[in-house]
Amino acid sequence: MSEAVTVECVGELFEELLAANGPVRAVSRFAEGSVTGAYRIEFARAGVAPVVLKIYGADSFGYAAKEARALRFLTDHGVGISPRVLAFSRSTPALDGRPCIVSSLRPGRTLTALDAELTRAQCYEVYRQLGQVLGRLHAISAHGYGHVNGEIRDPLPDNRAHMARMFERELGRFRHHWGDPALAGRLAAHVAEHASAFAACPRPAYCHGDVHDSTSWCNSLRTAAAR
């Protein structure tokens, strides 16, 4: 979101969603770490902890609902690193009908902000802890293979069938957007030839599909490790 979010409109929102927190004292935008509008909300009442308000576009209700479900799923399964969802609205007049999520604030600094300060050992420790968190998530059994949006949509009984469906969908999109037909054919043939590898997955589990390197410290770590 490019426009300013005022104390007045956030105060109106919180009167609707979290009236017990009391009047809003300050609103500040998070400078990094979000592709949507994310704000730190502070309250005038003593002892009330700050929270995070994340505002989505008017046409992005599905993304907002999926994130709220994901955060609640992590909380319900004891993955304590996740913020807790405190409130969710699919459409509110205070935000011109846009959906939003209110969650607890996890204190700390982003890795991007710490880029110049982390040693190589600390970078490895970050990755180790991240792997532990992902390991806990992957240990949670699922009842089938498929994309998750609250529940698994159109679950399939085995990973081979699931991956075949995924590649068929993505190659279909590639062709639809005028991708090279010959390249699409070679990709499809390669996937079919090696499809037996997908059967090595022993059981369905929950996975995070968007954990990736996004800061220069990751590149520095890889360069240092290669020397």
pLDDT at 111: 77
Q: Is the pLDDT at 81 greater than 80, yes or no?
A: no
Tell me the pTM.
0.76
Average pLDDT along the chain: 86
For residues 221 and 124, membership in a common domain is answered with yes
More confidently predicted of 72 and 227: 72
Identify each DSSP E strand in the chain by its residue range: 24-29, 37-43, 51-55, 85-89, 100-104, 148-149, 151-152
Closest-CA residue to 1 (of 103, 84, 99): 99
Query: ∠115-125-81 over CA atoms, to 5°?
Result: 90
For residues 34 and 68, membership in a common domain is answered with yes
For residues 133 and 185, membership in a common domain is answered with yes
For residues 47 and 139, membership in a common domain is answered with no
- How does pLDDT run across 4-25, given as a tens digit for each residue? 688 999 999 999 999 999 999 9
Task: Give, for 134, the enclosing helix (H) or strand (E).
Answer: helix 120-138
For residues 14 and 66, membership in a common domain is answered with yes
State how many domains the chain has: 2
Q: What is the mean pLDDT of residues 30-53?
A: 84
Distance (Å, whole) CA 64 – CA 46: 30
Residue 105 · residue 21 · CB < 8 Å? no
- How does pLDDT run across 89-134, given as a tens digit for each residue? 988 888 888 999 999 998 887 777 777 788 888 888 988 988 898 8
What residue type is assigned to position 216 of the chain?
S
